[in-house]
Amino acid sequence: MGLPYLRSDGNKITSENITDFMKHINLFENVSLATKPCIIKASPKSDMAIIWFDIWDTQNGSKAKLLINHSFNLGRYIATVRATNMNPGVPQCHNCWKWGHSTFSCQAHGSRCQKCSSPHKLEHHRELAWCCKANPKSNPPRLETA
């Protein structure tokens, strides 16, 4: 909490911006994100953002305990990390894997893979995804993912 919704150039802040910011902040140096950060406005008329992110953590939540209630500076802004329930209220679709709508209201035609967002299901990822297939014609040749 505490970061602007709009960047200095007037564009909305993106999950890539947040990921880049986190790489340069010491508080997040040993933290691995489980998914891309989700960004919403704090309220319809606010210029501030609320950002949700999930982290890979240990069974006892030791990394989360180091983050919760700590603040950090980002330029002239002071942001604070708060804990939320596992479902903070922003749905993630299990069909297209995008944030902001439920599976029942998804407008996508067909499902997508949660690893690569290609038009196949996760159980067929290894057989269908270009990222895991061998490509002997590429330079250098790419071996099949084990």
Per residue, what are the HEC states of the chain? CCEECECCCCCECCHHHHHHHHHCCHHHCCCEECCCCEEEECCCCCCEEEEECCEECCCCCHHHHHHCCCEEEECCEEEECCCCCCCCCCCECCCCCCECCCHHHCCCCCCCCCCCCCCCCHHHHHHHCCCCCCECCCCCCECCCC
Q: What is the pLDDT confidence band of residue 90, given thresholds at 50, 70 and 90?
A: low
pLDDT at residue 41, rounded to an integer: 84
pLDDT tens-place string over residues 16-69 = 888 888 888 888 888 888 888 888 888 878 888 888 888 877 767 788 888 888
